């Protein structure tokens, strides 16, 4: 099994750059306890793959969050990658209306939103585009073409055990360097399979994908899943609401349940736990990852 990584590279004799991502364990951890249908897992995997590919080009500068909102059975996909290439994500969907439907039919009409929380400037940037294309790869290619102002080729794969993505970007003057270069390497990139990606080291995979092309590869960047169970943070949020409001909620419901969909965590507070919260402790009586 290959490690969880993103590999940046350029074609030395072409004005084309690329990134390759393959996740196994980190991706499996994101899906643990979620019981997504295969079609939903694939869509979330594609979204996660692109988020990592975009974040790899800005490593160390901030957090990237990609949201796909649609009117179809899969109405929300979210993937998030921070400056250290730590991922998390979620999908929201209507059960029972999934099997056998194509990617665009599952999403319906909607929009893609990409948010960059830039740690260096402290600014928050967001771009929005409508969903255009029949597949996630086409939708994302359209986004990249609009936002980056360069032609892009994207290959995405995902199942419950692994995900892989390959992004090529055609930079200015690429045709002057080699008039056939973009067509050639895009065709070769289209042969990437998920089985190949999860079974090979990054450099070996790139060598097999692009025989005869001179590549320069950069240091491999590790990717990990990071969405810790954090009762102390939830307790702090409850204290921020004030004791009177929290105890009123507790009296009405008998128990306070807070669910973190992004991390698939649930926090439960009974009367004794709430007492500990306002005594200065974390206070969680039960809960965990579902």
**How do residues 123-176 score in pLDDT, each as one tens digit?**
888 888 899 998 888 988 888 887 778 899 999 999 999 999 999 999 999 999
Q: Is the pLDDT of residue 62 over 90?
A: no
Beta bridge partners of 248: none
90-114 pLDDT, tens digit per residue, is: 999 998 878 878 899 999 999 999 9
What pLDDT sits at residue 282?
A: 58
What pLDDT sits at residue 1?
A: 52
Q: Is the pLDDT of residue 250 over 60?
A: yes
Coil, helix or strand at residue 160: coil
Burial class of residue 272 (count of CB atoms within 10 Å of its CB; 0-12, 13-18, 19+): exposed
Confidence class for position 121, pLDDT limits 50, 70, 90:
confident
What is the Cα–Cα distance from 22 to 209, expressed in whole angstroms? 15
Mean of pLDDT over the chain: 89
Confidence class for position 290, pLDDT limits 50, 70, 90:
very low
What pLDDT sits at residue 28?
A: 96
Residues 71-95: what's their mean pLDDT? 94
Residues 187-203: what's their mean pLDDT? 94
The pLDDT > 70 percentage for the chain reads 96
Residue 261, phi then psi, degrees to nearest 5: -65, -35
* Helix spans in the chain (H): 25-31, 38-56, 103-107, 136-148, 174-177, 181-189, 194-199, 202-209, 231-241, 243-253, 271-277
Domains and CATH numbers, the chain: 5-225 (3.55.30.10), 231-289 (3.90.1280)
């Amino acid at each position: 099994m290959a490690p969880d990584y993103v590999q940046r590279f350029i074609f030395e004799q072409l004005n084309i750059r690329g990134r390759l991502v393959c996740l196994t364990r980190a991706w499996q951890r994101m899906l643990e306890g979620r019981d997504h249908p295969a079609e939903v897992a694939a869509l979330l995997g594609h979204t996660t793959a692109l988020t990592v590919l975009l974040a790899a080009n800005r490593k160390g500068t901030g957090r990237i969050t990609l949201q796909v909102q649609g009117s179809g059975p899969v109405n929300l996909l979210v993937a998030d990658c921070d400056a250290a290439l730590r991922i998390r994500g979620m999908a929201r969907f209507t059960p029972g209306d999934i099997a056998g439907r194509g990617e665009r039919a599952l999403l319906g009409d909607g929009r893609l939103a990409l948010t960059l929380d830039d740690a260096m400037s402290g600014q928050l940037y967001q771009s929005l585009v409508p969903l255009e294309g029949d597949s996630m790869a086409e939708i994302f290619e359209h986004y990249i073409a609009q936002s980056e102002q360069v032609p892009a080729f994207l290959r995405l794969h995902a199942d419950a055990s692994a995900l892989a993505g390959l992004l090529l970007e055609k930079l200015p003057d690429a045709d002057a360097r080699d008039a056939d270069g973009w067509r050639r390497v895009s065709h070769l990139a289209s042969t990437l399979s998920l089985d190949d990606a999860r079974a090979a080291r990054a450099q070996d995979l790139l060598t097999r994908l692009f025989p005869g092309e001179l590549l320069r590869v950069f240091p491999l960047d590790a990717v990990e899943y990071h969405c810790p169970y954090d009762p102390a943070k939830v307790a702090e949020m409850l204290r921020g609401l004030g004791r009177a409001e929290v105890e009123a909620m507790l009296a009405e419901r008998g128990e306070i349940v807070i669910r973190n969909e992004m991390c698939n965590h649930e926090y439960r507070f009974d009367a004794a736990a709430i007492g500990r919260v306002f005594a200065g402790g974390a206070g969680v009586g039960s809960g965990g990852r579902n």
